[in-house]
Amino acid sequence: MEVRESVIEKRLSNINRIICVASGKGGVGKSLIASTLALKLEKRGHKVGLLDLDLYGPSSHIILGFNRKGFPDENKGIIPSKVDNIKFMSIIYFSDDKPSPFRGIDISNIIVELLAITQWGSLDYLIIDMPPGIGDETLDIIRLVKNCEFIVVTTPSKVAMGAVKKLLLILSELKIPIIGLIENMVIENSNLIKNQIKIMNVHYLGSILFDKNLEISIGKPKEILKTDMINDLDKFLNKIE
């Protein structure tokens, strides 16, 4: 094992649960759900960290309204800044929110580096906002984070579900725990998604309706917590907690 990889094990050793919010498809609400899940768990008295692993399109900082001022503190590693009492780590600390043209091996290296340098300390939950698809990042996390669990997000669309199914199959084959699936941006009730995942033995966590008033709250965590979207998330949070 590479030295940095053994450091990762130590860095994550005081974290009770590591939950990746992922999807086979882009734009389905992973970042929103990862960020709001972190906010809600913190409000319920847990010690929470949030790691934005979307190296090309980081967006958790936008949802949480985090304007980084200066580099995070360093002390034998990097101590994540706190946003609404959540320990927050993102590539934006290093890329200054400029486009990051990473490729293949770069991505794996950056992920290893991020995991190896971040001092999370003790946490009840580390939520990981995953990039879209089933690329290097997903495989790296599965390899490097031994006890990770997945929440998979889809929209009520056959197109999204086509790609999401592939991720669910890969996770099942690799015997990675899947907490369940969230159906997001629902406009009309339908059993399409529920029926498809029943066959796959994946747990349906719940649905979140499309919330047309959400956008004005983005960047303002206190406002986000009052939205209908959060109300919907609240209804099944106990299945995750």
Ligand X SMILES: Nc1ncnc2c1ncn2[C@@H]1O[C@H](COP(=O)(O)OP(=O)(O)OP(=O)(O)O)[C@@H](O)[C@H]1O
**Contact set with ligand X (CB under 6 A):** 23, 26-32, 54, 57, 59, 132, 184-185, 208, 210-211, 214, 218, 229
The distance of closest approach from Cβ of residue 13 to ligand X in the complex, given in angstroms and rounded to an integer, is: 28
Beta-strand relationship, 81-83 and 86-90: antiparallel
Nearest to 238 by CA among 198, 183, 190, 179: 179
The distance of closest approach from Cβ of residue 131 to Mg ion in the complex, given in angstroms and rounded to an integer, is: 7
Per the CB < 8 A criterion, the answer to whether 130 and 138 are in contact is yes
Of residues 190-229, those binding Mg ion (CB under 5 A): none
Q: Which of 63, 112 has the CB closer to Mg ion?
A: 63
Out of ligand X, Mg ion, none, what residue 22 binds, judged by CB under 5 to 8 A for its kind, is: none
Q: Which of 10, 212 has the CB closer to ligand X?
A: 212
Q: Which of 78, 233 has the CB closer to ligand X?
A: 233
Question: What 3-state class would DSSP assign to 8?
Answer: helix
Out of Mg ion, ligand X, none, what residue 77 binds, judged by CB under 5 to 8 A for its kind, is: none
Per the CB < 8 A criterion, the answer to whether 205 and 181 are in contact is yes
The distance of closest approach from Cβ of residue 26 to ligand X in the complex, given in angstroms and rounded to an integer, is: 3
H or E segment at 139?
A: helix 136-144
Q: Which of 30, 40 has the CB closer to Mg ion?
A: 30
The distance of closest approach from Cβ of residue 164 to ligand X in the complex, given in angstroms and rounded to an integer, is: 11
H or E segment at 207?
A: strand 204-209
Q: Which of 54, 183 has the CB closer to Mg ion?
A: 54
Size of the site for Mg ion (CB under 5 A): 4
Taking the C-alpha atoms of residue 94 and residue 53, their distance in angstroms, rounded to an integer, is 13
Q: Which of 171, 229 has the CB closer to ligand X?
A: 229
Q: Which long-range contacts (CB under 8 A, 24 or more apart) does 120-123 make?
A: 120/11, 120/12, 120/14, 120/15, 120/49, 120/80, 120/87, 121/14, 121/87, 122/14, 122/15, 122/47, 123/14, 123/15, 123/16, 123/47, 123/48, 123/49, 123/87
Give the contact letters, 46-85, x = binds to Mg ion (CB under 5 A), - = no. --------x----x--------------------------
The distance of closest approach from Cβ of residue 211 to ligand X in the complex, given in angstroms and rounded to an integer, is: 4
Question: Counting contacts by CB under 5 A, is residue 31 touching Mg ion?
Answer: yes
The distance of closest approach from Cβ of residue 198 to ligand X in the complex, given in angstroms and rounded to an integer, is: 23
Taking the C-alpha atoms of residue 192 and residue 114, their distance in angstroms, rounded to an integer, is 38
Binding site residues, Mg ion, CB under 5 A: 30-31, 54, 59
